[in-house]
Amino acid sequence: MNDSVVIVDRTGQSLAHTHYDTAKPTDIWPPITITAAQIDQMIEQLASHPRPTNGRREVVIMHPRAVDLGQGLAPGTQVVLSVLKPGEETTPVRQNSTQVNFCIRGGGHAVLDGRRVDFRQYDVWNVPSFIPYRHVNDTKDLQVRLTYSNAPLLEMLRVHLVDENPPVRPHSHAVETVAAEQDPRRKSPFGSFQLTEDGAWLMPYETLINPPSVVSPALHWPWELVQANLDKLAALGKDYIGRRLYLLYNPMTGRANGTTPSFFATITIRPPGVIDRPHRHVSSAINYYFRGSGYSVVDGRRYEWNAGDLMLSAPGWAVHNHASYDEPVYELTIQDQPLHIMMESLLWQESLKEPQRF
């Protein structure tokens, strides 16, 4: 036996450290709030730096429990604050993590795989995996962005690949690749086929490593259009008891209901004086409150928040609820629910009086 391998005998023991039906998990990351004042201080500090060679003035906003665990604000979600001064731009980069971007001040444009996307304050856009992108500030104000990515998960798997200043591949390379894929010697004559009556299949190697392509688009949700539709929900009055929010939906995610394959981004308008029903879910939630104020109760403890605050507001499987004070609240929520849906690990308990659903 290899002496470097660790063997753990768990004969007769539980398969997990945390049971899904216990009152609460044993090791959740506690909620944490980064205040608007703290964010303003970071912005001021970043803007004071000389322009870096790659143009990227940014800080990672990391939970204190995230040391050596991918630098996330939640275990699988990284949040980066970026600042561009007027006239500045970043150099191109690409990585195999995906992103949701949210402009919290100023504006400018992004170049996503050659496509220009103009954005303003509170606009949202996604960056698919491994496409070259850069950001440009062609305004007279600071450009400030929050970027949410699944980099921590890839870092923990030791497969986060980042390509600085990616080269533009010549067209001939694509032609050669297609020609190689069409080589009949590389294609099984049997293809994929059903093996059993209950639906088990067999698939050959060449299909395994090169599945049919699904276009992963870079999409843009302008705040002006999103707000107009949110305000229609606000106007429904007390007869509507549902959550007044919209998912910024990317159709390529299908039933995973995502903005990216890992995350959903929702924007909520919370009327004054609303207290949500306590609930919980396996997915973690990070809220940025950009208008209004209120509080959250998480795992029995109350946390106050105000406009401009960023908060890990729902660690996975912690019971929580949110409430607004005397003015409407607008908030962006990032959750890793789509990832859990595709892993079949999502549990959701909307009412604590009813059993969990998955």
Segment 147-163 mean pLDDT: 95
Place of tokens 């019971």: 319
Residue 131: pLDDT band (50, 70, 90) is: very high
State how far Cα 339 lies from the chain centre. 10
Alpha carbon dihedral 345, 159, 145, 89, in 10-degree steps, equals -160
Is 298:315 a contact under the CB 8 Å cutoff? yes
Percent share of the chain, pLDDT over 70: 91
Given this model, what pLDDT does residue 151 score?
96
Token pair listed for 76: 């699988």
Reply yes or no on whether the pLDDT at 328 is more than 50: yes
Three-state helix/strand/coil letters over the chain: CCCCCCCCCCCCCCCCCCCCCCCCCCCCCCCEEECHHHHHHHHHHHHHCCCCCCCCEEEEECCHHHCCCCCCCECCEEEEEEEECCCCECCCEEECCCEEEEEEECCEEEEECCEEEEECCCCEEEECCCCCEEEECCCCCCEEEEEEECHHHHHHCCCCCEEECCCCCCHHHHHHHHHHHCCHHHCCCCCCEECCCCCCEECCHHHHHCCCCCCCCCCEECHHHHHHHHHHHHCCHHHCCCCCEEECCCHHHHHHCCCCCCCEEEEEEECCCCECCCEEECCCEEEEEEECCEEEEECCEEEEECCCEEEEEECCCCCEEEEECCCCEEEEEEECHHHHHHHCCCCEECCCCCCCEC
Is 29:315 a contact under the CB 8 Å cutoff? yes
What backbone torsions phi and psi does residue 241 show, to the nearest 5 degrees? Answer: -110, 5
Instruction: Report which residue type is found at 107.
Output: G
Q: What is the pLDDT of residues 247-290, one digit of tens each?
A: 999 999 999 999 999 999 999 999 999 899 999 999 999 999 99
CA angle 20, 22, 24 (to 5 degrees): 95
Reply yes or no on whether the pLDDT at 14 is more than 80: no
The set of residues, in sequence order, having a beta carbon less than 8 Å from that of 150 and lying 6+ positions away, is 76, 77, 78, 97, 98, 260, 262, 263, 336, 339
What does the mean pLDDT of the chain come to? 90
Which pTM was predicted? 0.91
316 burial via Cβ count (<10 Å: 0-12, 13-18, 19+): buried
Given this model, what pLDDT does residue 25 score?
55
Q: How many CA atoms lie within 13 A of 110 on its CB side?
A: 25
Q: What is the pLDDT of residues 164-188, one digit of tens each?
A: 988 765 544 444 455 556 778 888 9
Instruction: Indicate the length of the chain as a whole number.
Output: 358
The set of residues, in sequence order, having a beta carbon less than 8 Å from that of 238 and lying 6+ positions away, is none
Ordered structural domains, the chain, with CATH: 32-163+214-349 (2.60.120.10)
Q: 25-29, 117-121, 183-187, 312-316: which range is least confident on average? A: 25-29
CA dist 135 and 111 (Å) reads 6
Given this model, what pLDDT does residue 174 score?
47
Please tell me which residue, 344 or 3, carries the higher pLDDT value: 344
CA dist 62 and 70 (Å) reads 9
CA dist 38 and 55 (Å) reads 23
Three-state helix/strand/coil letters over 213-239: CCCCCCCEECHHHHHHHHHHHHCCHHH
Q: How many CA atoms lie within 13 A of 21 on its CB side?
A: 3
Residues in a beta bridge with 58 = 82
CA dist 137 and 108 (Å) reads 5
